[in-house]
Amino acid sequence: EVVKGVNGLDKVVLRQVNGTSAEVYLYGAHVTSWKNEQGEELLFLSSKAIFKPPKPIRGGIPICFPQFSNLGSLDQHGFARNRFWTFDDDPPPLPPDANHKVITDLILRSTKEDLKIWPYSFEYRLRITLGPGGELMLTSRIRNTGTDGKPFTFSFAYHTYFSVSDISEVRVEGLETLDYLDNCQKRERFTEQGDSITFESEVDRIYLSTPTKIAVMDHEKKRTLVMRKDGLPDAVVWNPWDKKAKAMVDFGDDEYKHMLCVEAAAVEKPITLKPGEEWRGRQELSTVNKLLDP
């Protein structure tokens, strides 16, 4: 069901019988809310977020496609996050979706205007699924629908903004000993040394070829946010910290204390699709109300 959200923009609300819910705007196919059984918000959405196209929404889960960051000729993070997607009211029963799941499919196809900045036809189906336990799954299916025989190449991220109680009390598990490209240091390559990642200043890193499971432990809440991913080898970790926060008009000066981006991504090795080929990339989020053992 499509209802009106902020500034009259259309959104879809997904609800499970156990009280969990999620909201997704058709603008950007942008998930802006994901709540647990207690009704607590698990995603960060800035109080300064601007719901005015073409500005992307600050927080939730922006889709970065067909370009992550400024690693190409397109604007930062590509254009999917500031296009109006269409709602598919009769989605196909695609595996591995089964019963007891609440599903919404949104579709984006390249327009004539898009073809001027990125000359490739595609069909992008994003399936947003709320599982019986309140787990939030995003499945992207991107197909090259070109008829001219040309392949296309893209990079991608689910730019997930988690809500955390206090960034200085947060640890990320699952990225230790991995190589990463540090965006704060000209994308130089480093190797993670610590047992887990903690935060005391700006972090903007692309961890390469990570395990499929990453855990964000919120010590104050005694809660673990678990990310599982498939088809997305990399993981971006970002917190702007105080200086960058002040420079962003759509982000409160102190909000960096209460958010952390962990993004399932394909950045180091971009994906190439020949005409007729389809790529699938999945991110699943769930929570555990305790601090999981590392």
Of 197 and 261, which has the nearer Cβ to ligand BG6?
261
In the window 18-47, what residues touch ligand BG6 (CB under 6 A)? none
CB of 147 to ligand BG6, least distance (A): 33
Among 114, 135, 173, 204, binds ligand BG6 (CB under 6 A): 204
CB of 269 to ligand BG6, least distance (A): 17
CB of 239 to ligand BG6, least distance (A): 10
Of 78 and 146, which has the nearer Cβ to ligand BG6?
78
189 known member of a binding site: no
Looking at the annotation, which residues are catalytic?
Answer: 159, 263
Determine the Cα–Cα distance for residues 235 and 233; give it in Å rounded to an integer: 7
| β-pair partners for 216 | 172, 225
Count, residues in the chain = 294
Determine the Cα–Cα distance for residues 169 and 151; give it in Å rounded to an integer: 45
58 known member of a binding site: yes
Give per-residue burial for 89-125: e unless 16+ CB within 10 Å, then b: eeeeeeeeeeeebbbbbbebebeeebeeebebbbebb
CB of 238 to ligand BG6, least distance (A): 4
Of 118 and 251, which has the nearer Cβ to ligand BG6?
251
User: What secondary structure letter does DSSP report for 112?
Assistant: H
Q: Identify the three-state secondary structure at position 253.
A: coil
Q: How far is CA 210 from CA 234, 266, 281, in A?
A: 6, 11, 15
Phi, psi (degrees; rounded to nearest 5) at 43:
-105, 150
In the window 67-126, what residues touch ligand BG6 (CB under 6 A)? 69, 76-77
Among 11, 30, 159, 282, binds ligand BG6 (CB under 6 A): 159
User: What secondary structure letter does DSSP report for 66?
Assistant: S
Size of site (CB under 6 A) for ligand BG6: 11
Of 37 and 179, which has the nearer Cβ to ligand BG6?
179
Phi, psi (degrees; rounded to nearest 5) at 111:
-95, 175
By rule CB under 6 A, what string of x and - marks binding of each residue 218-257 to ligand BG6? ------------------x-x-------------------
Determine the Cα–Cα distance for residues 31 and 11; give it in Å rounded to an integer: 9
CB of 132 to ligand BG6, least distance (A): 31
205 known member of a binding site: no
Phi, psi (degrees; rounded to nearest 5) at 166:
-155, 110
Of 144 and 251, which has the nearer Cβ to ligand BG6?
251
Q: How far is CA 42 from CA 74, 171, 259, 271, 279, in A?
A: 31, 16, 10, 30, 28
Please enumerate, by residue number, every residue annotated as part of a binding site for substrate: 58, 76, 81
Positions in the binding site for ligand BG6 (CB under 6 A): 56, 69, 76-77, 159, 183, 204, 236, 238, 261, 263
Please enumerate, by residue number, every residue annotated as part of a binding site: 58, 76, 81
